[in-house]
Amino acid sequence: MTVSTIELAVIGGTGLYKLADLQDVETHQPATQYGAPSGPIRVGTLDGHRVAFLARHGEGHSLPPHKINYRANLAALKALGATRVLALNTVGGITERFGPRVLACPDQLIDYTWGRISTVCEEEGTEVLHIDFGEPYTCALRGEVLAAAQRSGVALVDGGCYGATQGPRLETRAEIARLRRDGCDLVGMTGMPEAGLAREMGLDYACLGIVANWAAGAGPDPDEVITLQDVLDHVAAASSGLPALLRAL
């Protein structure tokens, strides 16, 4: 089952359901001990390099954040031979540097999610792991992502704290004010438990946040209403640099 030379696995978030530039694509949907992944994994070639792509919410965006089988997604990518995962996460911006259409590579996170299976130690009889998570993203992979952005001339903000909320609703202004006080710069719904599970599974993992909107009350117009269309428009615009960045990576 291993597709031996997958050099990078990419997990796409809201508005990012395929990698248009992948060539010679094969489709895999391995069953895992945790169940089925969100959808087919497309493995293909990008400039001669083997790359796997999985749409986190399913290709038709049918899975809300709390229903995603994060364990199966990562286990399926690992079963295909992936060791490095770049997570694309659509996010809201909270602090000044993270306005709509910004790309960011956060270096910290706070987990506000609840009720999600967040460990591979869930089943009785499995060994309990207490992974080090002080640096939630793999430093070396973050460094490579930042270097690739620089080489390809794509603006990418280095650092920031990702607050992972439960969703699927967006947050209240009071919740975003609290996240800001806590030190969050970005807010999204899928950053956890994915990052923690990747560490438990021994996968290198980095996040590329695509800012789709000012989080509730965070932008210049405090009364702004966030619409799905705005989110999708900003994601599409912000993603224009992604193919070049991925190629460089």
- Closest separation in Å from C-beta 170 to ligand HPA: 5
Q: Is 114 annotated as a binding residue?
A: no
Ligand-binding site membership of 213 (annotated): yes
Size, binding site for ligand HPA by CB under 6 A: 13
Least separation in angstroms between CB 211 and ligand HPA? 8
Query: With respect to ligand HPA, which residue has the nearer C-beta, 38 or 90?
Result: 90
Q: Which of residues 228-247 bind ligand HPA (CB under 6 A)?
A: 231
Q: Which of residues 89-118 bind ligand HPA (CB under 6 A)?
A: 90-92
163 to 192, contacts with ligand HPA by CB under 6 A? Answer: 165, 170-171, 187-189
Cβ neighbours around 32 below 10 Å, total: 17
Task: State which residue, 113 or 138, has the beta carbon closest to ligand HPA.
Answer: 113
Question: Is 73 annotated in some ligand binding site?
Answer: no
Q: Which stretch binds ligand HPA (CB under 6 A): 44-52, 56-64, 72-80, 210-218?
A: 210-218
The least CB distance from residue 145 to ligand HPA, in Å, is 20
165 annotated as a binding-site residue: no
214 is in an annotated binding site: yes
> Which residue from 6, 36, 35, 87 is spatially nearest to 25, judged by alpha carbons?
6
57 is in an annotated binding site: yes
Binding site for ligand HPA (CB under 6 A): 90-92, 165, 170-171, 187-189, 212-213, 215, 231
Give the residue numbers of the binding site for substrate: 189, 213-215
Give the residue numbers of the binding site: 14, 56-57, 189-190, 213-215
